[in-house]
Amino acid sequence: MPVRPLPPNPNLDHLKHQAKDLLRAHAARSPEVAQRIREFHPRFHHSTDAEIFGSHLKLSDAQLTIARESGFDSWTRLKRHIEKPTLVDRLDLPHHERIEDPVFRRAVDLLDAGNATALRAHLKQHPDLAQKRILFEGGNYFRNPTLLEFVAENPTRYGRLPNNIVEVTRVILDAGTTQAALDEALMLAASSAVTHKCGVQIPLIDLLCDYGADPNAAMRTAAAYGEFVAVDALIRRGARIDLPIAAALGRTEDARRLLPTADSEDRHWASALASQFGSVEIVRMLLDAGEDPNRFNPVGGHSQSTPLHQAALAGHLDVVRLLIERGARVDWKDTLWQGTPADWAHYQGRSEVEAYLRPQQATKGN
Protein backbone atom coordinates (compact mmCIF):
# COMPACT_ATOMS: atom_id res chain seq x y z
CA MET A 1 0.00 0.00 0.00
CA PRO A 2 1.15 3.62 -0.25
CA VAL A 3 3.01 4.67 2.86
CA ARG A 4 1.58 7.29 5.17
CA PRO A 5 3.66 10.36 4.26
CA LEU A 6 5.12 12.24 7.16
CA PRO A 7 4.01 15.87 7.61
CA PRO A 8 6.50 18.63 6.69
CA ASN A 9 7.62 18.94 10.33
CA PRO A 10 7.09 15.50 11.88
CA ASN A 11 6.89 15.22 15.64
CA LEU A 12 8.38 12.15 17.30
CA ASP A 13 6.05 12.38 20.30
CA HIS A 14 3.06 12.36 17.97
CA LEU A 15 4.41 9.23 16.27
CA LYS A 16 4.86 7.60 19.68
CA HIS A 17 1.18 8.30 20.37
CA GLN A 18 0.32 6.69 17.02
CA ALA A 19 2.17 3.55 18.11
CA LYS A 20 0.16 3.43 21.35
CA ASP A 21 -3.06 3.94 19.36
CA LEU A 22 -2.06 1.00 17.19
CA LEU A 23 -1.64 -1.17 20.29
CA ARG A 24 -5.13 -0.21 21.46
CA ALA A 25 -6.62 -0.97 18.05
CA HIS A 26 -4.83 -4.35 18.07
CA ALA A 27 -6.39 -5.12 21.44
CA ALA A 28 -9.79 -4.14 19.98
CA ARG A 29 -9.20 -6.59 17.09
CA SER A 30 -9.59 -3.99 14.36
CA PRO A 31 -9.30 -5.66 10.91
CA GLU A 32 -7.77 -2.49 9.45
CA VAL A 33 -4.98 -2.59 12.02
CA ALA A 34 -4.41 -6.29 11.38
CA GLN A 35 -3.80 -5.41 7.72
CA ARG A 36 -1.38 -2.62 8.64
CA ILE A 37 0.58 -4.95 10.92
CA ARG A 38 0.59 -7.72 8.30
CA GLU A 39 2.00 -5.44 5.63
CA PHE A 40 4.52 -3.48 7.63
CA HIS A 41 5.75 -5.72 10.44
CA PRO A 42 8.12 -8.35 8.97
CA ARG A 43 7.17 -10.98 11.54
CA PHE A 44 3.54 -10.98 10.44
CA HIS A 45 3.79 -10.85 6.63
CA HIS A 46 2.06 -14.21 6.20
CA SER A 47 -0.13 -14.19 9.31
CA THR A 48 -3.91 -14.35 9.40
CA ASP A 49 -5.97 -11.84 11.36
CA ALA A 50 -6.54 -14.44 14.06
CA GLU A 51 -2.79 -15.09 14.36
CA ILE A 52 -2.06 -11.36 14.59
CA PHE A 53 -4.72 -10.81 17.25
CA GLY A 54 -3.49 -13.87 19.15
CA SER A 55 0.07 -12.54 19.33
CA HIS A 56 1.40 -10.36 22.10
CA LEU A 57 2.35 -7.01 20.60
CA LYS A 58 4.93 -4.88 22.39
CA LEU A 59 5.37 -1.13 22.06
CA SER A 60 8.55 -1.78 20.05
CA ASP A 61 6.46 -3.86 17.60
CA ALA A 62 4.00 -1.01 17.20
CA GLN A 63 6.82 1.49 16.70
CA LEU A 64 8.41 -0.70 14.03
CA THR A 65 5.04 -0.91 12.26
CA ILE A 66 4.64 2.88 12.36
CA ALA A 67 8.21 3.40 11.11
CA ARG A 68 7.79 1.04 8.15
CA GLU A 69 4.35 2.44 7.42
CA SER A 70 6.11 5.80 7.09
CA GLY A 71 8.70 4.31 4.71
CA PHE A 72 11.61 3.71 7.12
CA ASP A 73 13.27 0.40 7.91
CA SER A 74 13.23 0.89 11.67
CA TRP A 75 12.17 3.22 14.46
CA THR A 76 15.84 4.21 14.81
CA ARG A 77 15.96 5.28 11.15
CA LEU A 78 12.73 7.24 11.53
CA LYS A 79 14.08 8.92 14.67
CA ARG A 80 17.30 9.90 12.85
CA HIS A 81 15.28 11.32 9.96
CA ILE A 82 13.41 13.60 12.36
CA GLU A 83 16.26 14.58 14.69
CA LYS A 84 19.24 14.78 12.29
CA PRO A 85 17.90 15.24 8.75
CA THR A 86 20.23 15.40 5.75
CA LEU A 87 19.61 16.13 2.07
CA VAL A 88 18.32 12.60 1.42
CA ASP A 89 15.65 13.24 4.07
CA ARG A 90 14.09 16.08 2.07
CA LEU A 91 10.95 14.16 1.17
CA ASP A 92 9.51 17.26 -0.50
CA LEU A 93 12.18 17.05 -3.22
CA PRO A 94 12.11 14.76 -6.27
CA HIS A 95 14.38 11.77 -5.91
CA HIS A 96 17.22 13.03 -8.11
CA GLU A 97 17.57 16.17 -5.98
CA ARG A 98 17.97 14.05 -2.84
CA ILE A 99 21.05 12.20 -4.15
CA GLU A 100 24.08 13.07 -2.01
CA ASP A 101 26.66 11.12 -4.04
CA PRO A 102 27.92 13.57 -6.73
CA VAL A 103 29.06 10.80 -9.09
CA PHE A 104 25.66 9.08 -9.00
CA ARG A 105 23.85 12.42 -9.26
CA ARG A 106 25.88 13.28 -12.35
CA ALA A 107 24.85 10.01 -13.97
CA VAL A 108 21.17 10.67 -13.28
CA ASP A 109 21.49 14.20 -14.67
CA LEU A 110 23.03 12.83 -17.88
CA LEU A 111 20.27 10.22 -18.12
CA ASP A 112 17.60 12.88 -17.68
CA ALA A 113 19.25 15.04 -20.34
CA GLY A 114 19.39 12.14 -22.79
CA ASN A 115 23.15 12.60 -23.16
CA ALA A 116 24.06 9.02 -24.05
CA THR A 117 27.61 9.86 -25.15
CA ALA A 118 28.56 11.64 -21.93
CA LEU A 119 26.81 8.99 -19.82
CA ARG A 120 28.80 6.23 -21.54
CA ALA A 121 32.04 8.07 -20.77
CA HIS A 122 30.95 8.69 -17.15
CA LEU A 123 30.16 5.02 -16.63
CA LYS A 124 33.49 4.01 -18.18
CA GLN A 125 35.27 6.37 -15.79
CA HIS A 126 33.37 4.88 -12.82
CA PRO A 127 33.04 1.16 -13.63
CA ASP A 128 31.21 0.28 -10.38
CA LEU A 129 28.57 2.95 -10.85
CA ALA A 130 26.10 0.95 -12.96
CA GLN A 131 25.55 -1.56 -10.15
CA LYS A 132 25.72 0.86 -7.24
CA ARG A 133 22.54 1.35 -5.18
CA ILE A 134 21.44 4.39 -3.25
CA LEU A 135 19.00 4.54 -0.35
CA PHE A 136 15.79 6.56 -0.37
CA GLU A 137 13.53 6.36 2.67
CA GLY A 138 10.05 7.70 3.20
CA GLY A 139 8.38 5.78 0.37
CA ASN A 140 6.99 2.32 -0.26
CA TYR A 141 8.98 1.59 -3.43
CA PHE A 142 12.04 2.89 -5.30
CA ARG A 143 13.84 2.70 -1.99
CA ASN A 144 17.18 1.21 -3.05
CA PRO A 145 17.51 1.74 -6.82
CA THR A 146 20.40 1.39 -9.19
CA LEU A 147 20.88 3.84 -12.04
CA LEU A 148 18.95 1.54 -14.37
CA GLU A 149 15.75 1.98 -12.37
CA PHE A 150 15.69 5.73 -13.08
CA VAL A 151 14.90 5.13 -16.77
CA ALA A 152 11.20 4.42 -16.13
CA GLU A 153 10.31 7.81 -14.56
CA ASN A 154 8.47 5.83 -11.88
CA PRO A 155 8.04 7.46 -9.41
CA THR A 156 7.36 10.54 -11.49
CA ARG A 157 10.03 13.24 -11.28
CA TYR A 158 9.54 15.31 -14.45
CA GLY A 159 6.51 13.67 -16.07
CA ARG A 160 8.48 13.17 -19.28
CA LEU A 161 11.45 11.23 -20.64
CA PRO A 162 14.17 12.12 -23.16
CA ASN A 163 13.31 11.04 -26.70
CA ASN A 164 16.29 8.70 -26.76
CA ILE A 165 15.61 7.00 -23.42
CA VAL A 166 15.86 3.56 -25.05
CA GLU A 167 19.39 4.38 -26.27
CA VAL A 168 20.28 5.75 -22.84
CA THR A 169 18.96 2.58 -21.21
CA ARG A 170 21.11 0.47 -23.51
CA VAL A 171 24.18 2.44 -22.43
CA ILE A 172 23.47 1.57 -18.79
CA LEU A 173 22.76 -2.07 -19.61
CA ASP A 174 26.03 -2.37 -21.55
CA ALA A 175 27.88 -1.09 -18.49
CA GLY A 176 26.62 -4.11 -16.52
CA THR A 177 23.67 -4.83 -14.27
CA THR A 178 22.12 -7.50 -12.06
CA GLN A 179 19.06 -9.67 -12.44
CA ALA A 180 17.36 -7.90 -9.55
CA ALA A 181 17.90 -4.48 -11.14
CA LEU A 182 16.69 -5.74 -14.53
CA ASP A 183 13.50 -7.17 -13.06
CA GLU A 184 12.82 -4.06 -10.98
CA ALA A 185 13.39 -1.74 -13.96
CA LEU A 186 11.02 -3.86 -16.05
CA MET A 187 8.34 -3.69 -13.37
CA LEU A 188 8.72 0.09 -13.11
CA ALA A 189 8.62 0.59 -16.89
CA ALA A 190 5.63 -1.72 -17.37
CA SER A 191 3.58 0.05 -14.68
CA SER A 192 4.65 3.62 -15.51
CA ALA A 193 2.07 6.06 -16.86
CA VAL A 194 4.95 8.23 -18.11
CA THR A 195 6.59 5.53 -20.25
CA HIS A 196 3.12 4.81 -21.66
CA LYS A 197 2.39 8.48 -22.37
CA CYS A 198 5.79 8.99 -24.00
CA GLY A 199 5.36 5.96 -26.28
CA VAL A 200 8.44 4.17 -24.95
CA GLN A 201 6.86 1.59 -22.66
CA ILE A 202 6.91 -1.26 -25.17
CA PRO A 203 10.41 -0.50 -26.55
CA LEU A 204 11.74 -0.41 -22.98
CA ILE A 205 10.00 -3.70 -22.15
CA ASP A 206 11.52 -5.33 -25.23
CA LEU A 207 15.00 -3.96 -24.53
CA LEU A 208 14.99 -5.04 -20.88
CA CYS A 209 13.71 -8.49 -21.82
CA ASP A 210 16.41 -8.73 -24.52
CA TYR A 211 18.97 -8.24 -21.75
CA GLY A 212 17.42 -10.95 -19.58
CA ALA A 213 14.67 -9.37 -17.49
CA ASP A 214 11.99 -11.87 -16.47
CA PRO A 215 8.67 -10.81 -18.03
CA ASN A 216 6.77 -12.56 -15.24
CA ALA A 217 8.32 -10.17 -12.70
CA ALA A 218 6.26 -7.23 -13.97
CA MET A 219 2.92 -8.84 -14.77
CA ARG A 220 0.90 -8.33 -11.60
CA THR A 221 2.06 -4.78 -11.00
CA ALA A 222 1.35 -3.79 -14.60
CA ALA A 223 -2.12 -5.36 -14.33
CA ALA A 224 -2.87 -3.72 -10.97
CA TYR A 225 -2.20 -0.32 -12.53
CA GLY A 226 -4.27 -1.05 -15.61
CA GLU A 227 -1.32 -1.06 -18.03
CA PHE A 228 -2.82 -3.76 -20.23
CA VAL A 229 -0.80 -2.82 -23.31
CA ALA A 230 2.26 -3.60 -21.21
CA VAL A 231 0.65 -6.86 -20.03
CA ASP A 232 0.13 -7.90 -23.66
CA ALA A 233 3.76 -7.07 -24.44
CA LEU A 234 4.96 -9.12 -21.47
CA ILE A 235 2.85 -12.06 -22.60
CA ARG A 236 4.41 -11.73 -26.05
CA ARG A 237 7.82 -11.89 -24.35
CA GLY A 238 6.92 -15.16 -22.66
CA ALA A 239 5.11 -14.21 -19.45
CA ARG A 240 2.57 -16.77 -18.35
CA ILE A 241 -1.13 -16.14 -17.87
CA ASP A 242 -1.87 -17.26 -14.32
CA LEU A 243 -5.15 -16.95 -12.43
CA PRO A 244 -4.62 -13.31 -11.32
CA ILE A 245 -3.81 -12.19 -14.88
CA ALA A 246 -6.78 -14.09 -16.29
CA ALA A 247 -8.94 -12.35 -13.67
CA ALA A 248 -7.59 -8.90 -14.56
CA LEU A 249 -8.12 -9.51 -18.28
CA GLY A 250 -11.61 -10.95 -17.77
CA ARG A 251 -10.61 -14.25 -19.39
CA THR A 252 -13.32 -16.36 -17.78
CA GLU A 253 -12.50 -19.69 -19.38
CA ASP A 254 -8.81 -19.36 -18.55
CA ALA A 255 -9.77 -18.52 -14.97
CA ARG A 256 -12.07 -21.54 -14.78
CA ARG A 257 -9.24 -23.78 -16.01
CA LEU A 258 -6.62 -22.32 -13.67
CA LEU A 259 -8.69 -22.04 -10.50
CA PRO A 260 -8.55 -25.69 -9.33
CA THR A 261 -4.75 -25.71 -9.11
CA ALA A 262 -4.26 -22.12 -7.94
CA ASP A 263 -2.80 -21.57 -4.48
CA SER A 264 -4.16 -19.21 -1.84
CA GLU A 265 -1.96 -16.31 -2.92
CA ASP A 266 -3.07 -16.55 -6.55
CA ARG A 267 -6.74 -16.70 -5.51
CA HIS A 268 -6.23 -13.67 -3.29
CA TRP A 269 -4.68 -11.69 -6.15
CA ALA A 270 -7.36 -12.89 -8.56
CA SER A 271 -10.13 -11.70 -6.24
CA ALA A 272 -8.55 -8.27 -5.96
CA LEU A 273 -7.97 -7.83 -9.71
CA ALA A 274 -11.30 -9.28 -10.84
CA SER A 275 -13.13 -6.88 -8.51
CA GLN A 276 -11.02 -3.91 -9.58
CA PHE A 277 -11.63 -4.49 -13.29
CA GLY A 278 -15.23 -5.66 -13.12
CA SER A 279 -14.86 -9.34 -14.05
CA VAL A 280 -18.08 -10.26 -12.29
CA GLU A 281 -18.24 -13.90 -13.41
CA ILE A 282 -14.70 -14.49 -12.19
CA VAL A 283 -15.52 -12.82 -8.87
CA ARG A 284 -18.52 -15.15 -8.59
CA MET A 285 -16.33 -18.14 -9.43
CA LEU A 286 -13.82 -17.22 -6.72
CA LEU A 287 -16.53 -16.67 -4.10
CA ASP A 288 -18.07 -20.02 -4.99
CA ALA A 289 -14.62 -21.56 -4.45
CA GLY A 290 -14.49 -20.11 -0.94
CA GLU A 291 -12.61 -16.82 -1.38
CA ASP A 292 -13.40 -14.47 1.52
CA PRO A 293 -14.99 -11.17 0.38
CA ASN A 294 -13.82 -9.57 3.64
CA ARG A 295 -10.10 -9.72 3.06
CA PHE A 296 -7.85 -6.79 2.39
CA ASN A 297 -6.09 -6.95 -0.95
CA PRO A 298 -2.59 -8.45 -1.22
CA VAL A 299 0.59 -6.42 -0.88
CA GLY A 300 1.25 -4.80 -4.24
CA GLY A 301 -2.42 -4.95 -5.22
CA HIS A 302 -3.80 -1.81 -3.56
CA SER A 303 -3.55 -3.50 -0.19
CA GLN A 304 -4.91 -0.51 1.71
CA SER A 305 -8.34 -1.52 0.43
CA THR A 306 -10.73 -4.44 0.03
CA PRO A 307 -12.21 -5.81 -3.22
CA LEU A 308 -15.39 -3.86 -2.40
CA HIS A 309 -13.45 -0.58 -2.16
CA GLN A 310 -11.88 -1.19 -5.58
CA ALA A 311 -15.15 -2.22 -7.23
CA ALA A 312 -16.86 0.87 -5.80
CA LEU A 313 -14.06 3.16 -6.94
CA ALA A 314 -14.26 1.81 -10.48
CA GLY A 315 -18.07 1.94 -10.58
CA HIS A 316 -18.66 -1.79 -11.08
CA LEU A 317 -22.15 -1.93 -9.57
CA ASP A 318 -22.69 -5.58 -10.55
CA VAL A 319 -19.52 -6.59 -8.68
CA VAL A 320 -20.48 -4.40 -5.71
CA ARG A 321 -23.89 -6.06 -5.49
CA LEU A 322 -22.41 -9.54 -5.75
CA LEU A 323 -19.79 -8.92 -3.06
CA ILE A 324 -22.39 -7.56 -0.65
CA GLU A 325 -24.76 -10.45 -1.38
CA ARG A 326 -21.90 -12.75 -0.37
CA GLY A 327 -21.23 -10.92 2.88
CA ALA A 328 -18.77 -8.13 2.09
CA ARG A 329 -18.74 -5.54 4.87
CA VAL A 330 -19.80 -2.08 3.70
CA ASP A 331 -18.55 -0.46 6.92
CA TRP A 332 -14.91 -1.50 6.68
CA LYS A 333 -12.56 1.45 6.17
CA ASP A 334 -9.40 1.51 4.13
CA THR A 335 -6.16 1.66 6.12
CA LEU A 336 -4.77 4.84 4.58
CA TRP A 337 -7.58 7.42 4.33
CA GLN A 338 -10.15 5.72 6.59
CA GLY A 339 -12.83 5.71 3.90
CA THR A 340 -15.63 3.19 3.43
CA PRO A 341 -16.45 1.79 -0.04
CA ALA A 342 -19.25 4.39 -0.26
CA ASP A 343 -16.71 7.11 0.45
CA TRP A 344 -14.51 5.79 -2.33
CA ALA A 345 -17.46 5.78 -4.73
CA HIS A 346 -18.26 9.38 -3.74
CA TYR A 347 -14.65 10.47 -4.28
CA GLN A 348 -14.65 9.09 -7.82
CA GLY A 349 -18.12 10.40 -8.65
CA ARG A 350 -19.73 6.95 -8.90
CA SER A 351 -23.14 8.25 -7.85
CA GLU A 352 -25.11 5.08 -8.67
CA VAL A 353 -22.74 2.93 -6.64
CA GLU A 354 -22.73 5.41 -3.76
CA ALA A 355 -26.54 5.55 -3.76
CA TYR A 356 -26.62 1.76 -3.46
CA LEU A 357 -24.02 1.63 -0.69
CA ARG A 358 -25.05 4.49 1.60
CA PRO A 359 -28.32 2.98 2.91
CA GLN A 360 -26.59 -0.30 3.62
CA GLN A 361 -23.76 1.44 5.39
CA ALA A 362 -26.32 3.32 7.48
CA THR A 363 -27.80 0.03 8.72
CA LYS A 364 -24.36 -0.83 10.12
CA GLY A 365 -24.56 2.20 12.37
CA ASN A 366 -22.13 4.41 10.48
The ranges assigned to domains in the chain are 12-85, 95-240, 244-363
Asked if 85 and 93 count as a contact pair (C-beta separation under 8 A), the reply is no
Give the Å distances, CA to CA, from 283 to 117, 246, 280, 316, 350.
51, 12, 5, 12, 20
- For 208, counting Cβ atoms within 10 Å of its Cβ (0-12 exposed, 13-18 middle, 19+ buried), the class is buried
pLDDT at residue 336 in the model: 87
pLDDT at residue 7 in the model: 84
pLDDT at residue 46 in the model: 87
Q: Which of 309, 302, 360, 349 is nearest to 333 (CA)?
A: 309
**Per-position pLDDT tens, the chain of length 366:** 578 888 888 999 999 999 999 999 999 999 999 999 999 999 998 899 999 999 999 999 999 999 999 989 999 999 999 999 899 888 888 999 999 999 999 999 999 999 999 999 999 999 999 999 999 988 878 999 999 999 999 999 999 999 999 999 999 999 999 999 999 999 999 999 999 999 999 999 999 999 999 999 999 999 999 999 999 999 999 999 999 999 999 999 999 999 999 999 999 999 999 999 999 999 999 999 999 999 999 988 899 999 999 999 999 999 999 999 999 999 999 998 899 999 999 999 999 999 999 998 777 654
pLDDT at residue 213 in the model: 98
**Radius of gyration of the chain, Cα coordinates, nearest whole angstrom:** 22
pTM metric for this prediction: 0.88
Angle at alpha carbon of residue 274, lines to 273 and 280, rounded to 5°: 165
Instruction: Give me the architecture of the 95-240 domain, per CATH.
Output: Alpha Horseshoe (1.25)
244-363 in CATH: which number? 1.25.40.20
In this chain, the answer to whether the domains covering 95-240 and 244-363 adopt an identical fold is yes
Interacting residues of 221 by C-beta distance below 8 A, sequence separation 6+: 187, 190, 191, 300
pLDDT at residue 138 in the model: 86
